[in-house]
Amino acid sequence: MPLKKKKNKKIKKSQLTKLINVSDSVLAPTVQMPLQTVTQRISQAIENGNNNQAKHWLLQVIEQCPNEEEPPVLLMNLLSRNREINEAELLAKKILRLYPKSAEVLQTVAAFYRGINRIEDALDILNSALPVAANKCAIYRNIAFTYTTMGNTEEAIKAFKQALAINKRDIYAYWGYLRLDIKNFPEALIEDLQQVLQACSNDKKLLAAGSFTLAWYYEKRDLQRYWKYLHIANGAVDTSAEYISTAGQNNHRLFSAEHLAAQPAAQPPEQRPVFIVAPPRSGTTLLEQILGAHHLTKGTGESLAFNHAVNETCKAHRLTHAIKDWPDEHMPEYAELLNKSFLRFPLIKEAKGHVVVDKSIENFKFVGAILSAFPQAKIIRLRRHPLDTLLSCYHQFFESSYDQLFNLDALANYYLEFEQQMDYWETAYPNQIFRVKYEDLVGQPEGIIPELVKFCGLPWDDACLSHHTNVGTIITSSDIQVRQPVHTKAIAKWKHHEKYLAPVINIIDPVYPLDQY
């Protein structure tokens, strides 16, 4: 589900003038100021991306205003977004005790649990929120999204219908319902959605969600309308900011095969993780499910566990996130902390005794750091035809933190960055990166999948050829497609849309000729 701004229960007006003691940092002096001023500063800090400052102020507000629901909900969302999972879990338990009948708190904690694969817990919490929620439509919608991640399409559609029966203006309910059953989606609901969209043209998120829904409906019915609504949807989210390349920012001079630390020949499974590296919509969820079907592995989806490890290392040693600037003499120490922080991440801890299969979207930036922390890790570079990849990206409603995915020019430049970064890593580690084409994976699964399993250092398991019969929770935009057997239907879809993809072709073709893919 795309990110949506939370409409938190507001702090009572009578409390806004209350004076509280706050400091700008742990060492700064404490001063008194009205709660209203502090909340304004928190909002500004979050808007500016100064999350640590916002977190520091929120903790002080929560301590001095224990009866207010909004601050812990804000902090819960902040910790979840920053993947500070351990702190978020502790806070979730605390606010469930403090506000057991708050629908806002229950929804927030349920969304967090769904994000870390605690699906049954999320569902239990949402069901407990129904009797106390004023906005039952939102609860039913979130129940539906939770069933969707479980692959329970029948219950998901039922819950989406219940949401729309309560409120026909709930655009996210249309969005979720249509994704599950485009072929049989009632035309009357499309007419209702078009009317609803006319009334919310000023809300960019709702305009995007509704326009994506209409685009998907018309994809196989009217190509011109499909692209009309696709442009409206992406344009509503696109920041129009120039895409800033970060290629090379993590290319430390010590990242090469020669500098890998000597390791014992045999390592426990948790020290041999598999990282699938590819742009979004390249087939990473499919490949993760194929490898994750093996009895010795555990798929962790887009866990962002290594991002978490980098953040923890930066905090512990006061480093910047530009790994190329980390001092040479301390790299072994940093690699050790990266290793420990990754293994402590909740989703990774749950996989203990298994080989982790991770497909986080930003892993391509950290390949050198990954192999320094885990010298026996396996890197799989998955490639799909660039035009199919980028068409599929433009077709999807991604989380708002990936602004480059809502603009065709920026998408093309993002693709170039990815390819150039991975070319660099393949040069640095020629024997530790396995390159595979999506088209070969789905076209010749009986030949390619055994090669991949062997590369990962695993014995053969027939389950890898029938992954779709045992798919668990999926929290990505591929949550529906991956539950099907391997197929070739998504190959060369770009040929039907070539004239609309001219901006992408003009950027990519001079650098990576498309006829040589």
Q: What is the pLDDT of residues 365-390, one digit of tens each?
A: 999 999 999 999 999 999 999 999 99
Q: Does the structure show a pLDDT above 60 at 474?
A: no
| CATH number attached to the domain at 1-134 | 1.25.40.10
Give residue 434's identity as a one-letter amino acid code: F
Output 212 or 100, whichever has higher pLDDT. 212
Q: Does the structure show a pLDDT above 80 at 508?
A: yes
Q: Does the structure show a pLDDT above 60 at 267?
A: yes
Looking at residue 412, its pLDDT comes to 94
Stated pTM of the model: 0.80
DSSP state, 299? E
With a pLDDT cut of 90, the percent of the chain lying above it is 55
Q: Does the structure show a pLDDT above 70 at 6?
A: no
Looking at residue 45, its pLDDT comes to 85
pLDDT digits (tens, 9 = 90+) for 323-352: 989 998 999 999 999 999 999 988 898 888
**Alpha-carbon gap, residue 377 to 274, rounded angstroms:** 6
- Residue in 497, 270, 252 with CA at minimum distance from that of residue 393: 497
Question: What's the token pair of residue 158?
Answer: 């039922």
pLDDT digits (tens, 9 = 90+) for 65-115: 888 888 889 899 888 877 778 889 899 998 998 888 888 889 899 989 988
Domain ranges of the chain: 1-134, 144-237, 272-516
Quote the mean pLDDT of the chain: 87
In DSSP terms, 301 is beta-bridged to: 358
Q: Assign a CATH topology to domain 272-516.
A: Rossmann fold (3.40.50)
**Given pLDDT bands bounded at 50, 70 and 90, which one contains residue 2?**
very low
Output 218 or 205, whichever has higher pLDDT. 218
Q: Does the structure show a pLDDT above 60 at 321?
A: yes
DSSP state, 467? G
- Same topology, domains 1-134 and 144-237? Answer is yes
**Given pLDDT bands bounded at 50, 70 and 90, which one contains residue 8?**
very low
Its CATH architecture, for the domain 144-237, is Alpha Horseshoe (1.25)
Q: Does the structure show a pLDDT above 80 at 245?
A: no
pLDDT digits (tens, 9 = 90+) for 415-463: 999 999 999 999 989 888 999 999 999 999 999 999 999 999 999 999 9
In DSSP terms, 436 is beta-bridged to: 382
Say which residues have a Cβ less than 8 Å from residue 126's Cβ, sequence separation at least 6: 106, 107, 110, 139, 142, 143, 146
